[in-house]
Amino acid sequence: MHEKNLSSPARFEDLAKALLDCGRVSEALSWVQRGLETFPTERLDDLLSLAVALELDLGHSEAVEQYAWRRFERNAGCEGFFRLLTVAEKVGRSSVLRARALDYLWQQVADDESSSGIARRSRWQKPKRGELVSIFLREGDDEAMWQAFSSGPVAAELWAQVAEVRGKTHHEEAIALYRRLLPVLVESGSQGSHYEAAFSVVKKIKALREVHGQLGMFGDELAEIRLEWKRKRNFMKLLETL
């Protein structure tokens, strides 16, 4: 019945799973492979993931790596990177595939930040460098994270997390980043949630100054912030509570 309708990758996946339920692993893999060949330009994450699982069951390490890498290339970013490493660990290829994946991502960053890449990027697309920053944040490699972050454009949504980490060892750099983030938050709209986020950033600046005995400097910074956004009355009300 399944074989009569093979109009999408999902149909091949369903057939493969039906065969797998019957313990026919090799036949299931054959249908997965046919699906991948039939729809080379479609979204194939599910089929590729099934191929990885089946090849693992069959003990075909080289094929596992090939399918896992193909899946990574189709979703090359932080999440795809860690999915790849999960598979790499199972086949004893963690260090090799980690290095290969990082090289691939850095090449993507170079292309993204080239003149042609900048021209192609729409206003809604995030700079690819942020994927590497996210990877290093997740791995806890603070210096690699900062080096990646400070060497090119990164979406503002990561700035607070980067500043939080950087503030543990280099508070002035963290404060400078928080100050960069403030106008992004304050000017992003009149909704209270934006002002609350901006107020949280100001409190983080104060906390860092206090830890380092620099509350006098914070007083000057707070005065500058109040002067710059004195027309934002709701934001001013929040600042009055400091």
Q: Kindly state the average pLDDT of the residues 82-91.
A: 98
The pLDDT of residue 4: 54
Query: Mind listing the pLDDT tens digit for each residue in 21-43?
Result: 898 999 999 999 999 999 888 88
Alpha carbon separation from 185 to 93, 160, 173, 212 (Å, rounded): 43, 11, 19, 26
Residue 84 contacts residue 68 (beta carbons within 8 Å): yes
The pLDDT of residue 5: 59
Look up residue 113 and give its two tokens.
Answer: 């930040």
Look up residue 120 and give its two tokens.
Answer: 């192609």
pTM, whole model, 2 decimals? Answer: 0.89
The pLDDT of residue 1: 42
The pLDDT of residue 42: 80
**Residue 189 pLDDT > 80:** no
Find the range with the poorest average confidence among 121-125, 142-146, 154-158. Answer: 121-125
Look up residue 215 and give its two tokens.
Answer: 């509350």
* pLDDT, the chain, mean: 93
Query: Mind listing the pLDDT tens digit for each residue in 192-215?
Result: 678 999 999 999 999 999 999 999
